[in-house]
Amino acid sequence: MTDYFTLLRPLIHRLPPESAHALGLWALRCGLVPPAPVPRSSLLQVNAFGLEFANPIGLAAGFDKNAVAINALLDMGFGFVEAGTVTPRPQAGNPTPRLFRLPEDEAVINRLGFNNDGLELFMEHFSRRDKSKGIAGVNIGKNKDAADADADYVAGLKAAYVHADYITVNVSSPNTPGLRDLQQRGKLSSLLEALRQARRECAQTYVRNVPVLLKVAPDLDRKEMEDIAEAALTYGVDGLIVGNTTVTRPERLRNSHRGETGGLSGRPLFALSTERLKDFYRLVGGRMPLIGAGGVFSAADAYAKIRAGATLVQLYTALVYRGFSAVRDIQTGLAKLLEKDGFANVQEAVGVDCC
């Protein structure tokens, strides 16, 4: 698989980024990408949010916005796949061009703006997934022109609840005006209370408990992080994803697209997102699991996230530069790192660098 991607990458990267992405999704849907299952290892098995994960390496939201390739993506060896972000009504997103590769920096800048086909079609696709293949979550957001943000998220939760293994509330994308304001104490409390009430109703209706996670930005100061952690604990959020893309621009960026507006992901995000992960791990004090995202390209990166407090890890941009073989490589390397340090299971390593 590595050889195929290495061979094809120069051709793929000659396509505009969105065209390349659409081609990749089409190939997955049509079964043109060979499955690459990763052998199960007791070292990597994780229990979190009441769910059993075969391994801690997941695919972040944004790759499969409309839930069209979940089965094929799980066949690539991911321990879990998060589809979306999906909004109640379809929306086109921001004007193109809106996705930029920064190959010298192994980074991507996007200002897509929650482009998706809407909840109805998304859930039609999502409901047809093969649940035996693994865990799949739904990442929900609000429409750009929503008059009532809370109502949009409640609609997303109610639609996803019956089929999702977990639901992620995305209040941290920088590409929808005003979205990150929902991380502010008052607005976040209002949103989480509305979602708590909706969860109670859904739990009674469907007789099941679906974990709800909150995805936060890495661009937060200490007070903002404290407020988010307190609200998450108060309103029964099951976990945090730390974090989304960043609007900051490290000086070391070399590519000519470095000044484009949007969220930066990839290698330059690793240090910042890992520090925020440590901050949140200390703030929640082990009272909820965290998912570490941002700049994960290697087993060492995933291990650093875990040692910084992540029970699970997500990646996305690594696929742009390494292909799906990165999933196997990370898991194989992570198992070796855990064995070397004397851990019997990956969960024993969570947060050891925060002590």
pLDDT for residue 214 is more than 80: yes
Q: Which fold, 2-354? A: TIM Barrel (3.20.20)
Q: How far apart are CA 149 and CA 142, in angstroms?
A: 6
pLDDT of 116: 98
Residue 118 and residue 186 in contact, taking contact as beta carbons nearer than 8 Å: no
Q: Where are the domains of the chain?
A: 2-354
pLDDT (mean) for 275-297: 96
355: tokens are 């002590």
Residue 37 pLDDT exceeds 90: no
Q: Residue 9's pLDDT is what?
A: 82
pLDDT higher for 254 or 5? Answer: 254
Instruction: Classify 286 in phi/psi space as left (phi over 0), alpha (psi -120 to 50) or beta.
Output: left
Cα gap 144→149, rounded to integer Å: 9
Supply the pLDDT for residue 6: 66
Q: Mean per-residue pLDDT for 127-139?
A: 97
Q: List 170's β-bridge partners, or say none.
A: 215
Residue 5: per-residue pLDDT: 66
pLDDT digits (tens, 9 = 90+) for 246-273: 999 998 999 999 999 999 999 999 999 9
Does residue 1 surpass a pLDDT of 70?
no
Structure tokens at 215: 């995805």
Share of the chain above pLDDT 90, in %: 91
Question: 3 vs 9, 21, 28, 329, CA distance in Å?
Answer: 10, 19, 18, 13
pLDDT of residue 139: 98
- pLDDT score for 196: 97
Which stretch of 34-43, 116-125, 266-275 has the lowest confidence by average pLDDT? Answer: 34-43
State how far Cα 108 lies from the chain centre.
Answer: 15
Q: Predicted confidence band at 2 (pLDDT cuts at 50, 70, 90)?
A: very low
CA separation for the pair 175, 148 (Å, rounded): 18
What's the rounded Cα separation, in Å, for the pair 71 and 169? 22
Across residues 201-222, what is the average pLDDT? Answer: 96
Query: In whole angstroms, how far apart are CA 227 and each of 21, 233, 310, 328?
Result: 36, 10, 20, 37
Gap between the Cα atoms of 65 and 194, Å rounded = 24
What is the pLDDT, as a whole number, of residue 217? 95
Distance (Å, rounded) from C-alpha 225 to C-alpha 286? 15
pLDDT of amino acid 8: 78
Mean pLDDT of 91-117: 97
CB neighbour class for 338 (10 Å; exposed up to 12, middle 13-18, buried from 19): buried
Residue 100 — very low, low, confident or very high, per pLDDT cuts 50/70/90? very high
Q: What is the amino acid identity at position 326? A: A
- Pairing outcome for strands 135-140 and 80-86: parallel
Res. 44 pLDDT band, cuts 50 70 90: very high
In this predicted structure, which of 100-104, 107-111, 174-178, 317-321 has the lowest mean pLDDT? 174-178
Phi, psi of 327 (to 5 degrees): -65, -50
CA separation for the pair 269, 265 (Å, rounded): 6
Task: Name the residues annotated as catalytic.
Answer: 173
Give per-residue pLDDT as tens, 51-91: 999 999 999 999 999 999 999 999 999 999 999 999 999 99
Residue 17: both structure tokens together: 């980024």
